Amino acid sequence: MSKPKVLLTRQWPEAAEARAKELFDVQLNEDDHKMSVEELQDAMKTYDAVCPTVSDFQITSEILDVEDRKCKVLCNFGVGFNNIDTDAAKAVGVVVTNTPDVLTDCTADIAMTLLLMVARRAGEGERLIREKKWSGWRPMHMLSTKVTGKKLGFIGFGRVAQAVAQKAHFGFGMELSFYDPYPPSDDVIKKFSATKLESIEDVLKSADFVTLHCPGGGSNTNLMNAERLGMMKKSAFLINTARGDVVDEPALVQAIRDGVIAGAGLDVFAKEPSVTEDLLSMDNVVMFPHLGSATTETRVAMGMCSLDNVKAFFDGEEPPNRVA
């Protein structure tokens, strides 16, 4: 029996691509270019499975609804899948999977890195040294915000949020609160001595740091708007490792410029790879180019997870990480 034909839409780590070659008749993206809508439409007619990423064009009915579509399953390389219109996929009978769990720890590491950097003015300090403008230690130079013992509020308290909670509470003695419409068990809440609050607004009003861990798209688009940013403490920082569209970037710029909040740490942006221009010149904003899962270990694991979903589907089994 011939092997299923599978397309990887972007370049993957070598180990994951090697396994893909073993399992399937695979097409790699050798030059790692962003495929056009036309290329993705052609892929729907050419391959049994496509493994897309968040950096592709959104896979909507325009791509899925092609004549003579051959593709039966989209195995996303990533835990977030708002790059795929799952309703459109369901409408044409295409299964959708993601890669949860394997990127939890590294994304949590990045959230804590952003929190520490923006609180302690680390990016600003490093630039000072690189630009040879440091004149030496002095008592009032670059005073910043203490992290240990402060209040950390979570919007969403799923896997990544709980990994951040582990580091923040047990590593830095932070006091935790959260809002999540689907809260974890009482045992999880008790483990972190966390306070479950009844609304996003309650979290915003009490926290010294607010970290976002909710899905993007839909009703969460611009969840952090001007009104909600205005509910945060003037001394508070916003951390986003979720999805860029959760934050209204122009409103964030205005809130930081007006001193409504103290600053932000961002790993994701609303229109990646474009970044709102005004953010680039703000010293009290730390920005990473979507590095949450960017360790070799995690990206290999994500590839393996995606391939496990492909294999299960074509073995006639329920894919372990099906989302649609």
Please list the active-site residues. 243, 272, 290
Q: What is the Cα–Cα distance from 290 to 240, expressed in whole angstroms?
A: 10
Long-range contacts of 85-92 (CB under 8 A, 24+ apart): 85/58, 85/59, 85/60, 85/61, 86/323, 86/324, 88/59, 88/60, 88/61, 88/64, 89/59, 89/64, 89/324, 90/324, 91/61, 91/64, 92/61, 92/64, 92/65
Q: Do residues 124 and 173 lie in contact, with contact meaning Cβ atoms separated by under 8 Å?
A: no
Tell me the β-bridge partners of 176: 152
* Exposure on the CB side of residue 68, measured as CA atoms within 13 A: 5
Comparing C-alpha atoms, which of 70, 21, 17 is closest to residue 43? 70
CA distance 246 to 214: 8
Strand (E) or helix (H) holding 130 = helix 122-130
Picking from 91, 48, 38, 90, the residue whose alpha carbon sits closest to that of residue 69 is: 48
Q: How far apart are CA 182 and CA 71, in angstroms?
A: 33
User: Do residues 29 and 8 touch, judged by C-beta distance below 8 A?
Assistant: yes
CB 10 within 8 A of CB 33: no
Q: What's the burial of 125, exposed, middle or buried (CB within 10 Å: 0-12/13-18/19+)?
A: middle
